[in-house]
Structure 1
């Protein structure tokens, strides 16, 4: 006895389904049972949100990004990356090679009515003027160059020689850090200080 479907047609009959009628009213039918998927995300999965909720939510802005450039980068590659990242921080040399511990390069930027303020963390960086420089360009670009003195394999302190069992800080060597202030500045009106706490602070007038 053959099973059948509505209209007396047999399941074994190869019959094309009736064409859809565009004038037919669309029915909204709720599912009998709905269980949320709790497995791993699928390659093409997405999350849908209702229009009302979407309009009420604000898009979270992403802060400045850190860009680590290898020591063998060419000047052209370095300039291209920095130029394309107006709100990023570019690190090269020893500053880009630290593993764990204090990181060279994290920075904060502030703004008043007529000036910009920035603060950069430079742990393990020598404060000697012949090895350290901070340049401010008219377009608001800040370029910091210096030398890190941490991460050595052998340290001499108080007439003693220490063989370091780990080198997790930035290795000794030259580095550069660059970032962009929000707008152009008068680079002739710049004042900065590099404290013994390893924090560089600078104030520069807007243009």
Structure 2
């Protein structure tokens, strides 16, 4: 795992890129261009931004597995505490780049439920806020042939046909 303090400086460790997969943590205000530039130089990497990059408490947002069959790729991404609402999206580019964006809703200091206010004594879940995850599948895909399921268990599972 490699930590890049500021993607604007263009500091990409070429030895790390040659070594294989890497995980890159971005500042919360990273632009899409900065994210794309870093991910282009680390094609086997995973980019995390926002609350997914904090990783200092609770289960990490964005832990994932990738599988391959003769004609498709399968990916599973752990998204604990992520809302399945209009803020959530999962998009795939034809080159196999997967973009996931959303909002985590756990880990806050105060929780309002059933007309009651709870001040949390422990906060072991991932921090609340916006996040993005970007990773590269092993090859190009037919992004029109994507099937995804975001289960109540917090797992996003996607299958996309190879091109």
Specify if TM > 0.5. Answer: yes
Whose relative contact order is higher, 1 or 2, with alpha carbons under 8 Å and at least 6 apart?
2
Q: Which moved more, 1:72-81 or 1:100-109?
A: 72-81
In the TM superposition, residue 131 of structure 1 has moved relative to its aligned partner by: 1.4
Larger radius of gyration: 1
**Is the counterpart of residue 87 in structure 1 residue 44 in structure 2?**
yes
Deviation sequence 1:32-63 (CA, Å, 0-9, x none): xxxxxxxxxxxxxxxxxxxxxxxxxxxxx966
In the superposition, relative to structure 1, how do residues 158 and 62 fare at CA in structure 2: closer, same or farther (>3 Å)? Answer: farther
SS of alignment partner, residue 187 of structure 1: strand
- Consecutive unaligned residues of structure 2, counting only runs of 5 or more, are 1-17
**Is the counterpart of residue 193 in structure 1 residue 149 in structure 2?**
yes
Q: CA RMSD in A?
A: 1.7
Please name the residue that 2:22 is paired with: 65
TM-score w.r.t. the length of structure 2 is: 0.83
- State whether residues 87 and 179 of structure 1, in contact with CA within 8 Å, keep that contact through their aligned partners in structure 2: yes
* Distance (whole Å) between structure 2 residues aligned to residue 155 and residue 132 of structure 1: 21
Please name the residue that 2:12 is paired with: none
* Distance (whole Å) between structure 2 residues aligned to residue 75 and residue 62 of structure 1: 25
TM-score w.r.t. the length of structure 1 is: 0.66
> What count of residue pairs does the alignment treat as equivalent?
146
SS of alignment partner, residue 29 of structure 2: coil
